[in-house]
Chain A
Amino acid sequence: MSSTDDLIAGLAAEGVTPASHALRRFVMPLVAVSVISAGFWLAMLGKPFTAVEVYGPVPMMVKWGFSLPLVFGSAWALHALGRPGQDAHRRMLCLAIPFALAAVVLAIDLAIGGGRFPGATWDRCLIAMGTFGPICFAGAIIATRWLAPTELRKAGAVAGIFGGSVAMSAYAPFCPELGMLFMTTFYILPILAMAAIGWLLGPKLLRW
C-alpha cells in the first residue's frame, strides 16, 4: 500500500459528513466584529442619530447608503472568493457601484459648494476608522480562512473593504459632519486604504 493509499484510508476514516454549520462559521466572525464596533460607539457616545434631528435624514442616508451595501456586498463577495472554482468577479464588480455613485455625488456636491471641511469632529472619525477598520478586517480574515480562498490578494482586498465599511457603518450614526468631501476624505479613503492593506497582506494572512 502506498503512502497516498494510507492517507486516503486515514481521511476516509475521519468521516464523511462535512460541518453542517459551515455558513454559520463564516458569518459569526463578521457579525461579531460588527456588533463590537456598534456596541463600542453606543457605549462611548450614547444616543445615535442626533444629527438627523438637526439636518434631517438625508446625510445619514447617504452615509449608510454607501457603507451598508459595501458591508453586505463584501461579505457576499468573500463567500464566493472562499469557494474554489466559483466565479466571484461579478460580485467584486458590484463593490465598485457604491464608489462610482459616491464619485458622482461628490462632483455634484463640490459643484454646488459642498459642506464645511474638515469639520469639528474629523479627528474622531479618523480614530474610528483607524481603530475599528483593522479590527473588522481581522474578523473578515478569520471568516475567510475558514473557507478556501484561492485568489488571496483579491480576498484580502475585499476583507479590507469589509473592515472599513463596517467601521464606517458603526460610527456614522454618531457623526455630525456633512458633505461629500468630508465623507470621501475621512470614510472612503480609509476604506480604500484598508483594501490596499488587505491586497498586500492577503497572501500572508489567508494562505492555507
Chain B
Amino acid sequence: MNQGDPLDLLMQRTRNGDDAAYREFLEQAATRLRSALARKIGNDGELEDLVQEALIAVHQKRHTLDPGRPVAPWLHAIARYKLIDHWRKRGRSPVLHEDADVAVAEDEFASLDVEALLKELPEAQAEAIRLTQIEGLTGAEASERVGIGLSAMKLRVHRGMLRLKKVVAEKDG
C-alpha cells in the first residue's frame, strides 16, 4: 500500500472504526473524482452528477476494496466505469483518454506497493506520476505546480509509466 496517500490512511482509520475519518475519506475521494472526471467531460453541469454517482458507487461497493490494497487504483477504476456508463447512457462514443496506457498500467500496478516502485524512477518522473495518478491532478495542474510546460509533464508521465512497467516486469521475472 502507498502509505503516503492520505486516502489509504483515511481508509485504514475508517476500518478501525473512526467515523469522522470516513467522512473525510469521502470528501477527499470526491475531490479526486471531480478532478479525474473533469479531465474527461469538462467542468459542465454533468460533472457534479457524475461525481455524486461515483461517490454512491464507492460507498455501496466499498466491500470490494481489500484491506491492504491501495485506494487510488480502485477509486480510479470506479470513476472510469461510471464515466463509460455515463457516455453509454448518453449515446456517445468518445475516444477513450489519450493516456489509455496509463489506465492499463494502473490495473497492472493495483496490487503493488507503488510508492516503493516510484523510488526506482528518476525523481522528476516519480513526481509526475505521483501528482497525476495518485493525487489525481490534471496535467495542467501538475505542470503548473512543478513549473514546467504541459507537454513536458505529459512526457514525464509517459516515460515514467514505461519505466515503471519495466521495473515491475523485472521484479516479476
Q: Which residues of A contact B (CB under 8 A)?
A: 2-4, 7-9, 11-12, 14-19, 22, 82-87, 147-148, 150, 207-208
Contacts and interface: CB of A to CB of B under 8 A. Distances in A.
Main secondary structure of the interface of B (DSSP, over half): helix
Contacts of A148: 57, 61, 64, 78, 81
B56 A7 contact: yes
A176 B76 CA distance: 51
Interface of B: 14-15, 17-19, 21-23, 26-27, 30, 48, 51-52, 55-57, 59, 61-66, 69, 73-78, 80-81, 85, 106-108, 110-111
Contact of B108 (A7, A9, A16, A87): A87
Contacts of B80: 150
A17 B22 CA distance: 9
B160 to A, nearest CB: 19
Contacts of B65: 18, 83
A29 to B, nearest CB: 16
Nearest to B84: A150
Contacts of A7: 52, 55-56
Contacts of A83: 64-66, 74
Given A8-B26, A150-B77, A14 B85 contact: no
A121 to B, nearest CB: 43
Contacts of A147: 61, 64
B47 to A, nearest CB: 10
Contacts of B14: 16
Nearest to B72: A85
A8 B64 contact: no
